[in-house]
Amino acid sequence: MASSLFAEIQSLATEQRNPRSMEIDTASVRDILEIINTEDHKVPIAVREELPYVEQAVEIVVDAFRQGGRLFYVGAGTSGRLGVVDASECPPTFGTPPEMVQGLIAGGREAMFQAQEGAEDVEENGAQDLRAAGVRPPDVVCGIAASRRTPYVVGAVRYARSIGCKTLFVTCNPRSSFDLDVDVAICPVVGPEVIMGSTRMKSGTAQKLVLNMITTASMIRLGKVYENMMIDLQMTNKKLVERSKRIVMTVTGLDYDAAGAVLEQAGGHVKTALVMALTGADRDEARRRLEAAGGFVRPAIQGSIPG
């Protein structure tokens, strides 16, 4: 007799067979690629339909950041890796401290590189990892699970909610079947995978798009972007050093050497360099302007305070 877990998995949208790829095992390489590519086109459409919920999630995250809170992604397998990747890219891109956005994956660090089978099957493991990370309000916990049912993720989200944290959830099963108590559920339904149950494909792509939106939009709302340029990046490698110079050159009209000089005077901080170059302020005055403007460059240049 089939188990209840078997019945649960069998009913998930992410576990259905895709009628458009039934003969993929006999297809040519070109046909295989066209099938995959055609299915991938459905992903951004599914994500677009969830934008109102992504917007709600961003508002929650921004509010938490302004209160000194952190964002924790929690997932297993592909979902967990996507959370870790998005979190790890925030410091070099936006100049955030490493603890501000964190990714937790079932099985720990080793699971990033090799599947740790069974690590996701216990709810308490998720709760324990959040306790170990010192999660508390106003932190936000975002569960990521294509199926919604991953015990590790469910356990983490339930624990977070029990201690008063705001909770988000990103899943690729329909909202109509979502039955977990969270503040915001984001449910891009991408349809059955080309290979049945292989949620590293369309589901993984959809999850990555959503996570990119959450952190990018949040950082923009915190003043870490000027026009469409990242201005709080950390000059931690040669590429980022040169990108910083290019940003200063683009915004101010300075040449390469002058941009490098003002960056050096600003202690390598792009925002400070921009305010210095555009207002004639020294480093201390530029920093004062930025602090008064809440970290936003436009009002710091104009001498006004954002609403």
What are the two backbone dihedrals, phi and then psi, of residue 80, each rounded to the nearest 5 degrees?
-65, -40
Q: Which amino acid is at 72?
A: F
Q: Based on the fold, state whether residues 143 and 288 are members of the same structural domain.
A: no
Output the pLDDT for position 71.
98
Output the pLDDT for position 70.
98
pLDDT, tens only, 232-246: 877 778 998 999 999
Q: Which residues neighbour 245 within 8 Å (Cβ) at sequence distance 6 or greater?
A: 256, 259, 260, 263
- Domain residue limits at 57: 11-221
Output the pLDDT for position 237.
85
Q: Based on the fold, state whether residues 68 and 203 are members of the same structural domain.
A: yes
Question: Which is more confident, 93 or 130?
Answer: 130
50 is catalytic: no
For residue 110, how many C-alpha atoms fall within 13 Å in the half-sphere facing its CB?
Answer: 5
What are the two backbone dihedrals, phi and then psi, of residue 20, each rounded to the nearest 5 degrees?
-85, -5
- Measured distance CA(191)–CA(17) in Å, rounded: 9
CATH of the domain at 264: 1.10.8.1080
Number of domains in the chain: 2
Output the pLDDT for position 306.
46
Output the pLDDT for position 11.
67
307 part of a folded domain: no
- What is the secondary structure of 236-253 as a DSSP string? -SHHHHHHHHHHHHHHH-
155 part of a folded domain: yes
Question: What average pLDDT score do residues 5-28 get?
Answer: 83
Mean pLDDT of the chain: 93
DSSP 68: T
Output the pLDDT for position 200.
95
Output the pLDDT for position 9.
67
Q: Decide which of 204, 221, 238 is a domain's last residue.
A: 221
Question: Which is more confident, 81 or 304?
Answer: 81
For residues 283 and 271, the answer to whether their CB atoms sit within 8 Å is no
If you search the block for the tokens 């909770």, which residue do you land on?
Answer: 167
Q: Based on the fold, state whether residues 35 and 164 are members of the same structural domain.
A: yes
Q: Based on the fold, state whether residues 103 and 153 are members of the same structural domain.
A: yes
Q: Based on the fold, state whether residues 244 and 178 are members of the same structural domain.
A: no
The pLDDT of residue 307 is above 50: no
Q: Which amino acid is at 132?
A: A
**Residues forming a β-bridge with 14:** none
285 is catalytic: no
- Residue of 89, 123, 285, 291 marked catalytic: 89
231 part of a folded domain: yes
Output the pLDDT for position 2.
60
Q: Based on the fold, state whether residues 138 and 251 are members of the same structural domain.
A: no
Output the pLDDT for position 234.
72
pLDDT, tens only, 175-223: 999 999 999 999 999 999 999 999 999 999 999 999 999 999 999 999 9
- Residue of 39, 50, 120, 123 marked catalytic: 120
